[in-house]
């Protein structure tokens, strides 16, 4: 009885495993392998040393005192530091505001926010680029009209603003995800808890702090992990909106890998970045899987 | 401590009238049950008292304080009403321990830590929850959760307890036990309690008084004895008691008999006098009698053939051990009798049946209100 039982699941997984070996596992191993070679020669950790110490990845000469480029790893970290709290805050805020059906235009606002999730990322990148274009985009015009002339510029063309244009664009694109998750989370909290808290004497803020927020914790875990993954892997929007420029000011790891690979034709450095990026994404991924179990 | 008073309270949800012109006074320290069939507006009434729902019209007082009156623009939010509520679902915060659940209302009121600790322990002691204080609600049984919900209500020492079917999620045995415990606890604390249920046994056993509601309208308020023995109308008569009261259409003759067509019963002299006074002689009325007031003639004390006794056919006998529910038929008229367990009746047999004329009820055919 025991043997067939333990082998059966494996049998059903076989087709998937057969596909995974050549298309996933082999390339991963091969990439790791490549990362230890340069021009066909085994160089140990030299590639890692070179990439990690290069100003492409971490530019400590310019960060944080001088203007960008600051290096793609730092850019990714800045990206996360702004994008993660913003999307959580906005998504949760919108979900809370639009919770009741009676709110006028709630489904319209939800649709607009969610549009960011639906459109292809390439289009999102293009929209971002136009949003921040001097003379054409809304944001420079509005800021200009408010008298902030220094920001009435084409954001993607200047090193000081390029990264922030991409981050702000990404906030719109990704807020729909957290809004959707939190909307579903809020809908799943029985109204009895709120009413019990009301009777126990809680005000709106206390209800949020003591009831809503703790009960949304499983949702928050998913949103944080998924956003971290998305932020670390960010590529298309940057590629289309700024191409990582100007002068690498908005370069991120995934695009850096592409740059090493396609422009500098250095597969080995590209492989190093790939391994680093994968390691970084594994952290939130493993955390998420652990928490879900 | 305080009583609760509703004056002409209405609640409409769009076109639905959930509560209709409800006036009810609950005295200080009293245990009053709101009883009625599903959807009759019990929960809505309770929620209006708690402040979770605003009445469409009418006034609600807690103690001397007006807490809701839409006409005057008065609406006191739940937290300022000094009430505590036990929900049917218990609504224990799943992420908090038992201790934190009970302590929550005190924490919100900024009670000093030391005092919170003392009061929670005290309540836990009272409810037998001391061992469970560190657990989360999901690690508790239904009865334990129920007690935690009670604890959360008690700990604040509110003016009024509101409870919405707090026992309905428990199994039958536990329900009987908790019924007694709850009653005892209420006595001990002496807090005004309004308790919603659709279970008439709970209502009869726990309440100082029972308020019976149907279709959002208050039908009768009285002690369990009053609503059982002197139902104000056909609905109350039929709703309270199991098996339910028998209802038969009957005409009152001028000379003081009840004429069922198939047979006649002689009214008692004071009954005739009353019916004459109210002008019911010669009129059609609805006759009601509880099954336990219909006797197997063998066990009847007062039997006068032709006056309170009739020969009936036994259709079905349900043996409950303590009694026998007998389905009886006289011609086309059917009714139930609850016979002594020693009664020898068997199905298909004919039996002499005696009506206890002192216990009969008569209702107006149109208004359905009780005459006798
Ligand atoms: N929020 C609401 N919106 C619309 N109708 C409602 C609402 N709440 C209650 N009702 C209606 O009001 C009436 C009374 O409801 P209520 O919940 O008070 O009944 P209940 O006596 O508590 O019934 P049950 O024993 O089933 O709990 C019902 O017809 C119900 O459909
Ligand atoms: Mg109800």
Using one digit for the tens of pLDDT, what is the confidence trace for A6-48? 778 888 888 888 888 888 889 889 889 888 888 888 888 888 8
| Ligand showing the shortest atom-to-Cα distance for residue B36 | 1
- DSSP run (H or E) holding B160: strand B160-164
| Contact assessment for residue B34 and residue B213, using Cβ atoms and an 8 Å cutoff | yes
**Which atom of ligand 1 is the closest one to the Cα of B41?**
18
Residues 216-255 of chain A with CB under 8 A from chain B are 217
Protein residue whose Cα sits closest to atom 14 of ligand 1: B41
Span of A105-114, B43-52, B198-207 with lowest mean pLDDT: A105-114
If one residue of B17, B22, B40, B194 were mutated to test the ligand 1 pocket, choosing by the most ligand atoms within 8 A of its CB, it would be B40
Inspect the interface and report whether the beta carbons of B79 and A196 lie closer than 8 Å.
Answer: no
Mean pLDDT of B245-267: 93
Look at A119 and B195; give whichever has higher pLDDT.
Answer: B195
3-state secondary structure of B340: strand
The rounded distance, in Å, linking the Cα atoms of B264 and B327 is 19
Is the CB–ligand 1 distance for residue B37 below 6 Å?
A: no
| Ligand showing the shortest atom-to-Cα distance for residue B38 | 1
The rounded distance, in Å, linking the Cα atoms of B101 and B92 is 7
User: In chain A, how many domains are there?
Assistant: 1
Is the CB–ligand 1 distance for residue B198 below 6 Å?
A: yes
**Each residue's pLDDT tens digit, B268-319:** 999 999 999 999 999 999 999 999 999 999 998 888 888 899 999 999 999 9
pLDDT value of position A92: 94
| Structural domain contains residue A122 | yes
Out of B78, B84, B108, the one facing A206 most closely (by C-beta) is B108
CA distance to partner chain A, nearest, from residue B108 (Å) = 6
Helices and strands (H, E) in chain B, number of each type: 9, 21
ipTM of the complex: 0.84
CATH number where A216 lies: 1.10.3720.10
| Structural domain contains residue A13 | no
pLDDT value of position A293: 60
The rounded distance, in Å, linking the Cα atoms of A175 and A168 is 11
Inspect the interface and report whether the beta carbons of A199 and B78 lie closer than 8 Å.
Answer: yes
CB of A209 less than 8 A from some CB of B: no
pLDDT value of position A1: 46
Computed on alpha carbons and rounded to an integer, the radius of gyration of chain A in Å comes to: 23
pLDDT value of position B1: 64
| Structural domain contains residue A215 | yes
| Contact assessment for residue B213 and residue B35, using Cβ atoms and an 8 Å cutoff | yes
For residue B83, give the chain A residue with the closest CA: A199
**Each residue's pLDDT tens digit, A143-161:** 888 888 788 888 888 888 8
pLDDT value of position A141: 85
Inspect the interface and report whether the beta carbons of B79 and A190 lie closer than 8 Å.
Answer: no
Burial bucket for residue B264 (CB in 10 Å: 0-12, 13-18, 19+):
middle
Sheet of B74-75: strand order equals B16-26, B4-13, B57-62, B65-69, B74-75
Out of A198, A210, A214, the one facing B79 most closely (by C-beta) is A198
Residue A3: pLDDT band (50, 70, 90) is: low
Length of chain B: 372
Around Cβ B190, how many Cβ atoms within 10 Å? 12
Span of A128-142, B79-93, B132-146, B239-253 with lowest mean pLDDT: A128-142
Residue B83: pLDDT band (50, 70, 90) is: very high
CB of A193 less than 8 A from some CB of B: yes
pLDDT value of position A108: 84
CB of A4 less than 8 A from some CB of B: no
Q: How far is the CA of B139 from the centre of ligand 2 (A)?
A: 26
Q: In chain A, pLDDT over 90 holds for what percent of residues?
A: 26
Helix axes B142-154, B172-189, angle to 10 degrees: 20
Handedness of CA A272, A275, A280, A281 (dihedral sign): positive
CA distance to partner chain A, nearest, from residue B79 (Å) = 4
Q: Which of A191, A193, A196 to mutate to test the interface with B (most CBs of B within 10 A)?
A: A196
| Structural domain contains residue A176 | yes
The rounded distance, in Å, linking the Cα atoms of B296 and B345 is 8
Residues 60-89 of chain B with CB under 8 A from chain A are 77-79, 83-85, 87, 89
pLDDT value of position A6: 74
The rounded distance, in Å, linking the Cα atoms of A244 and A237 is 10
- A22 φ, ψ to 5°? -75, -30
| Structural domain contains residue A93 | yes
Is the CB–ligand 1 distance for residue B188 below 6 Å?
A: no
Domains of chain B: 246-299+308-364 (2.40.50.100)
| Structural domain contains residue A181 | yes
**Which CA distances in Å does B167 have to B14, B36, B140, B156, B180?**
31, 16, 15, 21, 11
| Ligand showing the shortest atom-to-Cα distance for residue B216 | 1
Residue A2: pLDDT band (50, 70, 90) is: very low
The rounded distance, in Å, linking the Cα atoms of B44 and B12 is 10
Mean pLDDT of A184-213: 93
pLDDT value of position B85: 94
Protein residue whose Cα sits closest to atom 27 of ligand 1: B38
pLDDT value of position A5: 65
| Structural domain contains residue A105 | yes
| Contact assessment for residue B78 and residue B47, using Cβ atoms and an 8 Å cutoff | no
Span of A46-55, A76-85, B123-132, B212-221 with lowest mean pLDDT: A46-55
Is the CB–ligand 1 distance for residue B40 below 6 Å?
A: yes
For residue B47, give the chain A residue with the closest CA: A195
Mean pLDDT of chain A: 86
In the A/B pair of chains, how many CB contacts fall below 8 A? 53
CB of A111 less than 8 A from some CB of B: no
Q: Which of B77, B87, B91, B107 to mutate to test the interface with A (most CBs of A within 10 A)?
A: B91
Length of chain A: 293
Mean pLDDT of B76-86: 93
Range of the domain at A252: 46-60+69-291
If one residue of B9, B15, B16, B55 were mutated to test the ligand 1 pocket, choosing by the most ligand atoms within 8 A of its CB, it would be B16
Q: How far is the CA of B221 from the centre of ligand 2 (A)?
A: 19
| Contact assessment for residue B160 and residue B83, using Cβ atoms and an 8 Å cutoff | yes
| Structural domain contains residue A5 | no
Strands B350-355, B294-296: parallel, antiparallel or unpaired by DSSP? antiparallel
Contacts of A197 in chain B (CB under 8 A): 93, 104
Assigned token pair, A107: 């489904």
pLDDT value of position A89: 94
Mean pLDDT of chain B: 93
CB within 8 Å of B87: residues ≥ 6 apart? A192, A195, A196, B149, B164, B166
């Amino acid at each position: 009885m025991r043997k067939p039982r333990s082998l059966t699941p494996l049998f059903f997984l076989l087709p998937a495993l057969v596909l995974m070996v050549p298309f996933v596992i082999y390339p991963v191993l091969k990439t790791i392998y490549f990362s230890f070679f340069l021009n066909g020669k085994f160089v140990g950790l030299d590639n890692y040393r070179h990439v990690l110490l290069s100003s492409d990845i971490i530019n400590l000469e310019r960060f944080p005192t001088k203007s960008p480029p600051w290096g793609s790893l730092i850019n990714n970290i800045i990206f996360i530091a702004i994008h993660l709290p913003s999307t959580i805050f906005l998504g949760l805020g919108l979900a809370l505001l639009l919770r009741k059906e009676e709110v006028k235009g709630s489904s319209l606002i939800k649709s607009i926010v969610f549009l960011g999730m639906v459109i292809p990322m390439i289009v999102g990148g293009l929209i971002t680029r136009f949003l921040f274009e001097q003379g054409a985009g809304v944001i420079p015009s509005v800021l200009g009209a408010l008298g902030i002339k220094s920001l009435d510029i084409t954001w993607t063309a200047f090193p000081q603003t390029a990264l922030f244009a991409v981050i702000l664009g990404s906030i719109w694109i990704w807020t729909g995800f957290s809004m959707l998750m939190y909307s579903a989370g809020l809908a799943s909290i029985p109204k009895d808890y709120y009413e019990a808290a009301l009777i126990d004497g809680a005000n709106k803020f206390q209800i949020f702090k003591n009831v809503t927020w703790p009960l949304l914790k499983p949702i928050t875990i998913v949103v944080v992990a998924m956003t971290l993954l998305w932020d670390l892997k960010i590529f298309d929007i940057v590629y289309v909106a700024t191409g990582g420029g100007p002068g690498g000011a908005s370069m991120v790891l995934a695009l850096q890998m592409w740059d090493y690979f396609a422009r500098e034709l250095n597969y080995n450095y590209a492989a190093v970045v790939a391994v680093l990026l994968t390691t970084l994404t594994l952290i939130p991924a493993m955390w998420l899987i652990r928490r879900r179990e | 401590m305080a009583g609760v008073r509703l004056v002409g309270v209405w609640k409409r949800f769009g076109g639905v009238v959930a509560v209709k012109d409800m006036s009810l006074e609950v005295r200080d320290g009293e245990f009053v049950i709101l009883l009625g069939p599903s959807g009759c507006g019990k929960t809505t009434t309770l929620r209006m008292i708690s402040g979770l729902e605003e009445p469409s019209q009418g006034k609600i007082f807690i103690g001397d304080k007006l807490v809701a009156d839409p006409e005057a623009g008065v609406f006191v939010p739940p937290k300022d009403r000094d009430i505590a509520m036990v929900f049917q679902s218990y609504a224990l915060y799943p992420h908090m321990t038992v201790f934190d659940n009970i302590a929550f209302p005190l924490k919100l009121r900024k009670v000093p830590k030391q005092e919170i600790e003392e009061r929670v322990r005290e309540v836990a002691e009272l409810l037998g929850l001391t061992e469970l204080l560190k657990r989360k609600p999901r690690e508790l049984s239904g009865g334990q959760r129920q007690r935690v919900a009670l604890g959360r209500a008690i700990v604040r020492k509110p003016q009024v307890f509101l409870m919405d079917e707090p026992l309905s999620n428990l199994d039958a045995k536990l329900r009987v036990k908790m019924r007694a415990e709850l009653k005892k606890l209420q006595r001990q604390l002496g807090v005004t309690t309004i308790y919603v249920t659709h279970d008439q046994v709970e209502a009869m056993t726990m309440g100082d008084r029972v308020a019976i509601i149907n279709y959002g309208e208050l039908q009768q308020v009285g002690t369990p004895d009053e609503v059982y023995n002197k139902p104000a109308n056909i609905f109350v008569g039929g709703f309270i008691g199991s098996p339910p009261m028998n209802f038969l259409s009957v005409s009152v003759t001028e000379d003081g008999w009840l004429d069922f067509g198939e047979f006649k019963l002689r009214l008692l002299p004071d009954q005739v006098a009353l019916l004459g006074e109210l002008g019911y002689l010669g009129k059609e009325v609805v006759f009601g009698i509880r099954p336990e007031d219909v006797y197997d003639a063998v066990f009847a004390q007062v039997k006068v053939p032709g006056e309170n006794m009739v020969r009936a056919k036994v259709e079905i006998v349900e043996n409950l051990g303590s009694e026998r529910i007998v389905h009886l038929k006289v011609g086309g008229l059917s009714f139930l009798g609850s016979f002594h367990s020693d009664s020898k009746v068997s199905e298909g047999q004919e039996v002499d049946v005696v009506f206890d004329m002192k216990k009969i009820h008569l209702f107006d055919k149109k208004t359905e209100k009780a005459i006798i």
